[in-house]
Structure 1
Amino acid sequence: MKILQTCCSFSWGGLEMQTLNISKLLSDRKHDVTLLCPNKSFLEKEGKTLGLNVEPIYGNNKNFVTTLYHIQKLLKSRIFDVIHTQISHDLWSLVPAMKLANCKARFFLTKRMASSINKKDLLHRFLYKRLDGIISISNFIRQNVIDTCPIDPQKVHTLWNAIDVDKYDPKLYSKTDVRNELGIDQDSLTVGLVGRFTKMKGHREFLFAAKKIKEETNLDVLFLLVGGVSHGENKYAEEIKELVKELQLESHVMFTGWSDNIPQMMAAIDILTFPSHKESFGNILLEAMAMGLPIIASNSGAVPEIVIDRETGFLVPPKDADSLAQKIIILLKYESIRNKFGQAGRKRVEKKFLINPFIEALENHYNYTQ
């Protein structure tokens, strides 16, 4: 199939990585894939690095009319079987461009984020009418789409994200070597938070929990913040660094910066926390579980679809640093529970979140029109 994947985001996080990963997987399966993305973005750079056909049409300095012109020109010059956008904002340019180009491609939207806005007005009905289907990344998002978007519920399908478990295999990475590289004591226990610097990820709760643990225990523990600063996130990242100083945690918190080898970084971690306020999915949970790590995550959004409380980890109320600290202390003290949760997490990923069944299911969606 000739497939156009689109994402107008300049950031670099789960949304953008999934867009890139799906494009590469489809290309590897001999589909003719084109990636429509912003000019001078992470997606353009990484897409070209992977050898994908990249069309960097979106841009900060381009107005709507200019963007619309270039997209409809692309659609006239190339006949696509499928157009799949990974972000709903792209509908505003894609739908008019498809109409102008008389494009007959099957059209899909993946919904990755919940919306609090009712989109059943006239303009949104015009946009959503063109869609052949919506793919939601969780049951939580599927219900949100049905509640807020003007589309037949039968056209809304859940397709959980997935990962390559062969890449996230703890046997491939040396905990000793990674810790030596990072300068982490081999005998220290480590608690990690992996993700972009956005307020919804729960960095503040993580640090307040760290403060409570240092005050109430004598445990030798280091708290790792893994992740770089993406588009528009510099101010919040600086606020988090200042909070570390205010809480006097400088010797107990490490900022590792961005890593392009997350499984290697996870090899240095003993416990993975995910204190996100409301998450649509959480790919990092799959990656950590595949690496055999026990999880402590917020009981909100789609997280309970991934983490099974007291089986693969602990679920805690969102924005509750005290509960987060209590559960971290339990796992720090009891290695047997850490191992039990880690083993069960790996098995769950192998059973429910494998990449090959995911991409086959996506192809089935492309081939089926409601």
Structure 2
Amino acid sequence: MLHKWIYNRINLALAISGVIKQNLIDTTPLTEDKIILLYNAIDVNRFNPEKFDRRKIREEFNIDNTEILIGMNARFSPGKGYEEFLHAAKELSEQYKNVRFIAVGGPSKGEDDYAMEIKTMASNLGLDGKVIFTGFRNDVPEILASLDIFVFPSHAEAFGLALVEAMSMKLPSVCSNTDGVLDIAIDHETSLLFKKADYHDLSEKLSELINNPDERAIFGNAARKRAVNVFSMKLITSKLISIYKDQIEDAVLIAN
């Protein structure tokens, strides 16, 4: 009852993605005209590939500059797609000798056992030395600068912020075709989409980008452009201020 009472008194709701907007329509009294789609934003100046040397992180982890480095950035949590990432890494390692993988992130509270399961899985798949687990890092832009391809294999997201950060770093990506991604990635323009939880399809899409450096460059340029034009902090902040101004003006008119 309290939930309904609150929503009946809301003038406007902001949704960070299409799936959140639809969820509000389906589960609250809010009508579509009271919901505005306003994406999460990133600092595109911080996530700027021109500011970083791709060799720095590669030297830290002894990765040759000629190797193709594929990475993901997510906490250790079920549903983030670590299993698919590792199985795809196994398939690709058998096909290509010049491919390495890096996973950025650590376990959240209560997820240490799951993190250990993932690392054990990597060893059991024979990926020691092929997959690097960095743990939590504060230098994510620097790590992204070292990559050739970004992977976003999450099963579901409200909004894939890590994907936008990678796009801003001019990275081509392979992403699951799931909620929270479809607002961000454009198939065959910024990214290649694969069937959610299907590591064979993930492997095939990654193989396409591994074999096509020109396609990687085209996707990366388009990704950076989309990040700047759609998800920049400056743009989203401007939109939010405009929304607030409109609401205040409407309230003043009603009061008068």
Q: TM-score, normalised by structure 2?
A: 0.91
C-alpha distance in 1, partners of 2:123/2:29?
48
Q: Which residue of 2 aligns with 1:159?
A: 38
Q: Which string of whole-angstrom CA distances, capped at 9 and with x for unpartnered residues, describes residues 208-264 of structure 1?
A: 11111123x133111111012222221211111111122111121100111112111
C-alpha distance in 2, partners of 1:129/1:349?
35
- 1:259 is aligned to 2:137: yes
Q: Which residue of 2 aligns with 1:318?
A: 196
Q: Which residue of 2 aligns with 1:119?
A: none
- 1:213 is aligned to 2:92: yes
C-alpha distance in 1, partners of 2:98/2:79?
28
Please say which structure displays the higher CA radius of gyration: 1
User: 1:342, CA displacement in angstroms?
Assistant: 0.4
C-alpha distance in 2, partners of 1:176/1:230?
29
Any residues of structure 2 matched to 1:66-215 within 5 Å, and which?
122-215=1-94
User: 1:302, CA displacement in angstroms?
Assistant: 2.8
User: 1:305, CA displacement in angstroms?
Assistant: 1.7
Q: Is the contact between residue 77 and residue 108 of structure 2 (CA under 8 Å) also seen in structure 1?
A: no
Q: Is the contact between residue 137 and residue 158 of structure 1 (CA under 8 Å) also seen in structure 2?
A: yes
Q: Which residue of 2 aligns with 1:328?
A: 206
C-alpha distance in 2, partners of 1:292/1:349?
9
C-alpha distance in 2, partners of 1:210/1:362?
41
Residue identity in the other structure for 2:63: I
Q: Which residue of 1 aligns with 2:233?
A: 355
Q: Which residue of 1 aligns with 2:178?
A: 300
Q: Could you list the runs of 5+ residues in structure 1 that have no partner in the other structure?
A: 1-121
- 1:277 is aligned to 2:170: no
Q: Which residue of 2 aligns with 1:34?
A: none
C-alpha distance in 1, partners of 2:90/2:223?
28
Q: Which string of whole-angstrom CA distances, capped at 9 and with x for unpartnered residues, describes residues 145-169 of structure 1?
A: 1011232332211101122211111
Higher relative contact order (CA 8 A, sep 6+): 2
Q: Is the contact between residue 124 and residue 150 of structure 1 (CA under 8 Å) also seen in structure 2?
A: no
Q: Which string of whole-angstrom CA distances, capped at 9 and with x for unpartnered residues, describes residues 77-121 of structure 1?
A: xxxxxxxxxxxxxxxxxxxxxxxxxxxxxxxxxxxxxxxxxxxxx
User: 1:284, CA displacement in angstroms?
Assistant: 1.2
The root-mean-square deviation of aligned C-alpha atoms, in Å, is 1.6
Q: Is the contact between residue 190 and residue 268 of structure 1 (CA under 8 Å) also seen in structure 2?
A: yes
C-alpha distance in 2, partners of 1:210/1:141?
32
Q: Which residue of 2 aligns with 1:337?
A: 215
SS in 2 for 1:306: coil
User: 1:130, CA displacement in angstroms?
Assistant: 4.2
SS in 1 for 2:79: helix
Q: 1:181 to 1:214 in 2, by over 3 A?
A: closer
C-alpha distance in 2, partners of 1:267/1:302?
23
C-alpha distance in 2, partners of 1:214/1:179?
18
SS in 1 for 2:183: helix
C-alpha distance in 2, partners of 1:134/1:238?
40
Residue identity in the other structure for 2:223: G
Among 85, 102, 108, the alignment partner of 1:224 is 102
C-alpha distance in 2, partners of 1:131/1:236?
40
Q: Could you list the runs of 5+ residues in structure 2 that have no partner in the other structure?
A: 251-256
Aligned residues: 248
C-alpha distance in 2, partners of 1:302/1:218?
31
- 1:245 is aligned to 2:123: yes
C-alpha distance in 1, partners of 2:138/2:25?
36
C-alpha distance in 1, partners of 2:10/2:182?
29
